[in-house]
Chains A and B, each alone.
Chain A
Amino acid sequence: MIQLRRFVHVWPPQDQPNTIGSKLQLIENLDTIASSITCSARPVTRRLSDGQNFPSNIVLKRTHSDTGYHVLMPFDKEHAPRRTWDYLRKNVEIPGSVWFGQTYVKYLETLGEWRVFIVGGRIVYTVHTSKHPTKKTWQWDIARTFYSLQELT
């Protein structure tokens, strides 16, 4: 790729396909913005040291999560066997990848997320996605109207 880039422009640049630096750096940036600009809450994120005990009620995530494969939810019977240091140690095959713990946010599961598509610094459209409570398949719709946070509180 480095050789190819001598002859053609490549987008996105090789050093920023996912983020600038690591996912932990992105989280740190988002934490800073939430505390200083938007004055809003965020889940607490901590990098895990090898062998460190972790509470059973936090989410375990790996940088380079492989479209969610390396996200281990608490209270999930399928994920429970993988929430061990044996498994975590065996799954750092990507250079620089690390595991971290994050507060479990129940509303991500029960209410879903809004996916906001931004092109050239402008929002083009927003889709709301959530898991169907019984089928566990994705359901989604274009977001046209919103509740205010005051209404939701």
Chain B
Amino acid sequence: MHQNGTLEHLGAGICNPDHGSLNIRDQAHTQFTRFVMDTYRELYCIESRVLGGKPSMALLCRFDVGIIAENDQCIHYFVNEVERAQTISFWSNRSCTYSSAKVPFGTLGSTFASVFYEWLSDVCNPHII
């Protein structure tokens, strides 16, 4: 699509393709998730070494991922921004443009409450073992 010039015309249609076999869509989902989580884990390692402790991204963060062309040929994902804590917008309302489903914000809240409790318990505990 990039090489024949049709990629730009996809626009918002780049999200949620509804063609291709389940295998193709599963592989594409894995490719995206692996890129994000590989980057997340390595960034976590770098920041935890710098801090000598747990960076805040261990609890909550948002990775903004875009697409970039290399030498006008290959297409890659790249992390454009990492938002944390109070600077995060959750995009939790339905878009006016789409008949989109609402994001599972309750699940995000409950999961955050759970990991926040674990973090607090860990911070309050003076014993390593």
Contact = CB atoms under 8 A, between A and B. Distances in A.
Interface of A: 9, 11-13, 16-21, 26, 29-30, 32-34, 37-38, 40-43, 67, 105-108, 110-125, 127-130, 132-133, 137-149, 151-153
A127 B101 CA distance: 11
B97 interface: yes
A117 B90 contact: yes
A80 B97 CA distance: 30
Nearest to A108: B66
Interface of B: 1-3, 7-8, 10-12, 14-18, 20, 24-25, 27-29, 31-33, 35-44, 46-47, 50-51, 55-70, 73-80, 82-88, 90-91, 95-98, 100-101, 103-104, 107-108, 111-112, 114-116, 118-120, 123-124
Nearest to A141: B100
A105 B66 contact: yes
Contacts of A112: 11-12, 14-15, 66
A41 B70 contact: yes
Interface centre among B12, B17, B100 (most CB of A within 10 A): B12
A119 B62 CA distance: 9
Given A12-B56, A30-B39, 4 more contacts: A11-B59, A124-B108, A151-B20, A153-B3
Contact of A11 (B3, B56, B79): B56
Contact of B40 (A114, A121, A137): A121
Given A108-B80, A145-B16, A153-B73, A38 B38 contact: yes
Interface centre among A108, A137, A142, A146 (most CB of B within 10 A): A146
B39 A19 contact: no
A123 B111 CA distance: 11
B11 A33 contact: no
A17 B39 CA distance: 20
B98 A17 contact: no
